[in-house]
Structure 1
Amino acid sequence: MTEAEAPSQFQASFGAVFGRGPEVTAQAPGRVNLLGEHTDYQGGYVLPAAIPQQATVSVARNGGKQHRLHSANLGQTLSVPVGEVGTGFAPYLTGSVALAGVHDALDIWVSSEVPSGGLSSSAALELATLRALRALYSLPLDDVDLALLGQRVEHEYVGVMCGIMDQMASSLADTAHMLFLDTRSLERRKLPLPADSARGTAQILVIDSGVPRRLAESGYNERRSQVEEASLLLGVTQLRDVQEVAALDALPERLKQRARHVVTENARVLEALHADAGHFGRLMNASHASLQHDYEVSHPQVDVLVALLQKQAGVYGARMTGAGFGGAVVALVQAGQAGAVAEAVLKVYGGEGRQVVP
């Protein structure tokens, strides 16, 4: 779907709320991160891919003095005066409008298929909104510009000091490749998914653990502060500049743990660039152990789900994905086995877990 198109179902939904059709409709996908977790705000390397689920945003000018914002998922409509931020889901939209330099009052209808919890639902919403605004106002912004604006929305309007990975993945990634991204330089290239010489290209399986990420924002900002302190004590701009784990020995133990995850995770991403599926899976397993023990952003139920996946036949490797404290897990599985693996693991796991991708 192009940014200027509005399929009939979205026109009808927008019209039911606002009494007329939208001027533009745009979409942006969620993402799953295969390797490179909690490294992007330290200038590190990441390997995300887009997922099929999308956020959809329809927009029209209303000629008034207030934005009218409707979430189809929540069944909720908010009114926010132009120039104010609002509450709830509003800051993702009003922040995007403000940073795009738009001063009109807008009617904005949003709907998202992207599950919350580790799959960048917020980035998808930001990028879909920014794409719609770009189309409506013919803004001279490329896809990287939109990603950088989306990150600023998180920092300045939502209050989450995220790195750039989520927005870059939502703006630039696709479902058939990994996006290798240097988050310092923003240099990037698309790479094929890992393959097994005997079985062909592996599949990505994503399962929502069913655990809400209640501590994600506060925990995320705390971890960011800790690695920034570690960088300062080590005399480097970012932990990206540390190549050897032994260099971390001078740090206090808690900061050493946090920094060790970032340094070793960067090394895992670079090693994964030339890895086959089996080796890539082992790197994913090591990543989860690091996130669980050094960075301490996992959750007991997530650890159970990851362990079940790691033991399941047909799985090369598995780990949590996203900020942590709940949310989704990702596994790399043998070609054609994703459905069978998910069914077998969820039968044992129980709870609220459910398959998301494919």
Structure 2
Amino acid sequence: MSFREVFGREPEVTASAPGRVNLLGEHTDYQGGFVLPTAIPQRATVSVGRSGGGEHRLHSANLHRTLTVPLGERGSDFARYVIGCIELLGVTDALDVYIDSDVPSGGLSSSAALEVGTLRALRELYGLGQDDVELALIGQRVEHEYVGVKSGIMDQMASSLADTEHMLFLDTRSLERRVYPFPAGAEVLVIDSGVPRTLAGSGYNERRAQVEEAARLLGVPELRDVTDVAAVEALQDDLLRRRARHVVLENARVLEALHADAGRFGELMNASHASLKDDYEVSHPKVDELVALLQADPRVYGARMTGAGFGGALVALVPQEEAVDIADGVLARYSGQGRRVVP
């Protein structure tokens, strides 16, 4: 169904934003670290029109659901993301909102794409002056204040600023950023494992609390300020030591990857997955299975989970023109259900 079929008229504005895949730099952005995402072709498209009533009507084409939220209330499910954007921009009108997204949920920032797409539509509708960085920061506030996920800034910045042709290097403390080409001769392969996950119901907020405690014990504002991993080994608590070790080494991997060839970049991805699996403990057996199948293919430079973890997607660096063949072979041997390549 279209906006017209749901609401009986045409929308006033339509905007969109892409999902993202993170190549390196996982679980570092809420410790002021470095990340290296790129946009994916899939996007969340948001159409909006003023309704003149006393409630918001929000329709998800993907979920085949329409939610009605009275003005002043936050609603539930996907409504929280949209209402957060509306309220944080100071919009007081009742709105009709139509969402059509092909960004897979789980690891590819479908929520950030929805937030940035909604914020872009509202910016256009009301002629607002926020730039793309300000929209990303508002999207992060939506996660914190309306969804209950204490996320870092990477997802919203990538959805707001990244493109599909480059890697976006982002310093999540200063928000300084540069674009880099992909390693020569390589392209990115993304696979959805078919394992669903939810951030708020997972260990995401727990992991954030653990690394904050590790930083406190090490006497630094954030683990970004630790550059010698030997300092981490002084932590007495084994759990905190492993969590902190991942963050410190992951930052180092991102910085090295900026000028690495495809072979070395892939090795860094493999090391990142091992760290996320063993030290940070945010992977999943089905994701590990897919990663192992990819890493066993001699053509694959490297592979790892991507996103917050506990299911979701994974990413691999592969030779150009070979992604489809590699993916077909791996998925034929994978025992999971609902998996698919994200083209």
Q: TM-score range by the shorter chain?
A: over 0.9
1:218 to 202, 210, 219: 202
1:142 to 119, 131, 134: 131
Conservation of the 8 A alpha-carbon contact between 1:45 and 1:182: yes
1:96 to 74, 85, 88: 85
Which residue in 1 is equivalent to 2:318?
333
Letter in 2 for 1:125: L
Letter in 2 for 1:133: L
Conservation of the 8 A alpha-carbon contact between 2:327 and 2:341: no
C-alpha distance in 2 between matches for 1:174 and 1:352: 30
C-alpha distance in 2 between matches for 1:357 and 1:207: 6
Give the alignment of 1:6-85 within 5 angstroms.
13-85=2-74
Letter in 1 for 2:107: G
Is residue 2:253 matched to residue 1:268?
yes
Q: Deviations over 1:104-141 (max 9, x none)?
A: 00000101100001000000000000000000001001
Letter in 2 for 1:171: S
Letter in 1 for 2:295: Q
Conservation of the 8 A alpha-carbon contact between 1:30 and 1:50: yes
2:175 to 186, 200, 215: 186
Conservation of the 8 A alpha-carbon contact between 2:106 and 2:198: no
Which residue in 1 is equivalent to 2:293?
308
Is residue 2:334 matched to residue 1:349?
yes
* Pair 189,215 (structure 1): closer, same or farther in 2 beyond 3 Å: closer
| Structure 2: 5+ residue stretches without partners | none
C-alpha distance in 1 between matches for 2:157 and 2:132: 8
Q: Deviations over 1:51-108 (max 9, x none)?
A: 0000010000000110011111111111111121001110000000001110000000
Residue 94 of structure 1: SS of its match in structure 2? Answer: helix
C-alpha distance in 1 between matches for 2:299 and 2:202: 36
Q: Deviations over 1:191-232 (max 9, x none)?
A: 10012xxxx2x1100001111115664310000000000011
Normalising by structure 1, what TM-score?
0.94
Is residue 2:120 matched to residue 1:131?
yes
Which residue in 1 is equivalent to 2:275?
290
| Structure 1: 5+ residue stretches without partners | 1-11
Letter in 1 for 2:339: R
Letter in 2 for 1:256: R
Letter in 2 for 1:80: V
Letter in 2 for 1:242: V
Q: Deviations over 1:127-174 (max 9, x none)?
A: 000000000001001000000000000000000000000000000000
C-alpha distance in 1 between matches for 2:296 and 2:71: 53
Q: Deviations over 1:313-342 (max 9, x none)?
A: 321000000000001010000010000000
Task: Report % sequence identity.
Answer: 74
Is residue 2:213 matched to residue 1:229?
yes
Instruction: Measure how far apart 1:357 and its partner are.
Output: 3.1
C-alpha distance in 1 between matches for 2:116 and 2:336: 32
Residue 47 of structure 1: SS of its match in structure 2? Answer: strand
Which residue in 2 is equivalent to 1:4?
none
Conservation of the 8 A alpha-carbon contact between 2:303 and 2:317: yes
Normalising by structure 2, what TM-score?
0.98
Letter in 2 for 1:240: R
Which residue in 2 is equivalent to 1:320?
305
Is residue 2:229 matched to residue 1:240?
no
Letter in 2 for 1:51: I
Decide which moves more: 108-117 or 347-356.
347-356
